[in-house]
């Protein structure tokens, strides 16, 4: 069996471990499907001759021991959890592609000086706890064990309860790694945008990763009968939310940075009846940029405008920060290395930024980091028709393999 057909088959096998039927993929953190996918991946890694362990947060670490195991390891990886009704390539290409790169090197007789470690990060997606990249945040120490223990899913279940039920036991404090653990981290990922496909390019080399900020607004107005309360007497929480949503859009458009984006992705209105004035609204906003100064200035305008809107409409507001992370600047020498490997293989490539954020954002706090992007159909992602061709994936794996090969003998 050729390497490309082996990887393509394994992507399909993993996609079949899903709470929803094909072509949709749903694997929420510590669900039955997520646990089954972990077991499947561990079996594949052990079959290839690699050592596998899980940390207390559920990060899977698949290690190929080098000749000098005391040296900081070279790392790659991504995630296999999937939001509801997603596709089969997001994150998976980085995990299974990383495993394939390691297998190809081993089969070719490569002898690494440094260990090579593939990381399957737990909970890259925010589906269960409302915060993304939980595993890599804990590894980098940007989220403390105490803060992680306060997390609850929509059913009120805690991280400790769920991880222990999944067999991930131990002190969460042990998840954090030192800056001496890894010498470099290179993540392979589908672009999740249309630029590479539109330019007919094989490879994107990431130089910067956008700085995400997310916040939750709890708006409290006053309800009443839709026919009995006159417009001038209303304190409609949803109308305040609508104004705030337009304010978010305006702040992004007027930030002065072409990379600022703002999204009001969640709005819950109560009591939720057509003939009742909305009295309570929960809305969650995602706001990001590669330019932290531009992002934070725009966030300040959103804060000022929100207070003005709520004051004018008589709405009480509770502003809760979910996360506010700095951008990551990728290591120039790693960027140059990946670029040189792509060109040496005859692949067309360009340097670019990642507007989506990934576990690499937090691995960059630990060690030099970059990402290798491959094109995906129309930039589609987080949906069942997400697609990257076997040929595109194989090119990404080839570049990753050569990077791991060189970095593991330095």
How far is residue 354 from each of residues 139, 191, 216, 217, 221, measured CA to CA in Å?
21, 8, 24, 27, 39
Give start-end residues of each CATH 3.40.630.10 domain in the chain: 6-210+327-407
Per DSSP, which regions of 81-181 are E strands? 82-86, 116-120
CATH architecture of residue range(s) 6-210+327-407: 3-Layer(aba) Sandwich (3.40)
CATH architecture of residue range(s) 212-324: 2-Layer Sandwich (3.30)
Phi-psi region of 169 (alpha: psi -120 to 50; beta: other; left: phi over 0): beta
Please count the CA atoms within 13 angstroms of the CA of 18 that sit on its side-chain side. Answer: 21
290-346 pLDDT, tens digit each:
999 999 999 999 999 999 999 999 999 999 998 899 999 999 999 999 999 999 999
Q: Give mean pLDDT, residues 252-279.
A: 96
- pLDDT, position 264: 97
- pLDDT, position 323: 87
**pLDDT higher than 60, residue 145:** yes
Give start-end residues of each CATH 3.30.70.360 domain in the chain: 212-324
Decide: helix, strand or coil at residue 316. Answer: strand
**Edge-to-edge strands, sheet with 316-324:** 261-270, 280-289, 211-220, 316-324
- pLDDT, position 268: 97
**pLDDT higher than 70, residue 1:** no
- pLDDT, position 4: 66
**pLDDT higher than 80, residue 2:** no
Q: Are the C-beta atoms of 188 and 400 separated by less than 8 Å? A: yes
Mean pLDDT of the chain: 96
Q: Which helix (H) or strand (E) holds 319?
A: strand 316-324
10-45 pLDDT, tens digit each:
999 999 999 999 999 999 999 999 999 999 999 999
- pLDDT, position 212: 85
């Amino acid at each position: 069996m050729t390497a490309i057909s082996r990887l393509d088959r394994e992507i399909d096998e993993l996609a079949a471990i899903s709470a929803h039927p094909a072509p949709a993929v749903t694997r929420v953190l510590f669900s039955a499907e997520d646990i089954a996918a972990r077991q499947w991946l561990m079996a594949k890694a052990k079959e290839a001759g690699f050592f596998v362990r899980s940390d207390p947060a559920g990060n899977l670490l698949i290690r190929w021991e080098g000749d000098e195991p005391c040296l900081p390891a070279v790392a790659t990886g991504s995630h296999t959890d999937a939001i509801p009704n997603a596709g089969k390539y997001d994150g998976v290409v980085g995990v299974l592609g990383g495993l394939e790169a390691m297998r190809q090197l081993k089969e070719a007789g490569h002898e690494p000086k440094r260990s090579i470690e593939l990381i399957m990060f737990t909970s890259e997606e925010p589906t269960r706890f409302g915060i993304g990249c939980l595993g890599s945040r804990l590894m980098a120490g940007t989220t403390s064990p105490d803060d992680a223990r306060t997390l609850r899913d929509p059913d009120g279940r805690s991280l400790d309860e769920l991880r222990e039920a999944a067999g991930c036991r131990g002190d969460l404090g042990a998840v954090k790694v030192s800056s001496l653990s890894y010498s470099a981290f290179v993540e392979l990922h589908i672009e999740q945008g249309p630029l590479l496909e539109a330019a007919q390019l094989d490879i994107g080399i990431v130089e910067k990763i956008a700085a995400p900020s997310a916040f939750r607004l709890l708006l409290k107005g006053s309800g009443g009968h839709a026919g009995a309360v006159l417009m001038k007497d209303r304190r409609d929480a949803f109308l305040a939310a609508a104004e705030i949503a337009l304010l978010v859009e305006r702040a992004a458009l007027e930030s002065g940075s072409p990379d600022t984006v703002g999204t009001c992705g969640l709005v819950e209105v109560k009591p939720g009846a057509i003939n009742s004035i909305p009295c309570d609204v929960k809305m969650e906003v995602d706001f990001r940029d590669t330019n932290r100064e531009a992002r934070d200035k725009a966030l300040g305008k959103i804060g000022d405008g929100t207070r003005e809107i709520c004051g004018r409409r008589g709405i009480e507001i509770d502003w809760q920060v979910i996360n506010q992370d700095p951008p990551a600047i990728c290591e120039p020498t790693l960027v140059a290395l990946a670029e040189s490997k792509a060109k040496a293989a005859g692949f067309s490539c360009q340097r670019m930024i990642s507007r989506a954020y990934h576990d690499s954002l937090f691995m960059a706090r630990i060690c030099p980091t970059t990402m290798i992007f491959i094109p995906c159909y129309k930039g589609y992602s987080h949906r069942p028709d997400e697609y990257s061709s076997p040929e595109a994936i194989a090119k990404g794996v080839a570049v990753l393999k050569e990077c791991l090969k060189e970095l593991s003998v330095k």
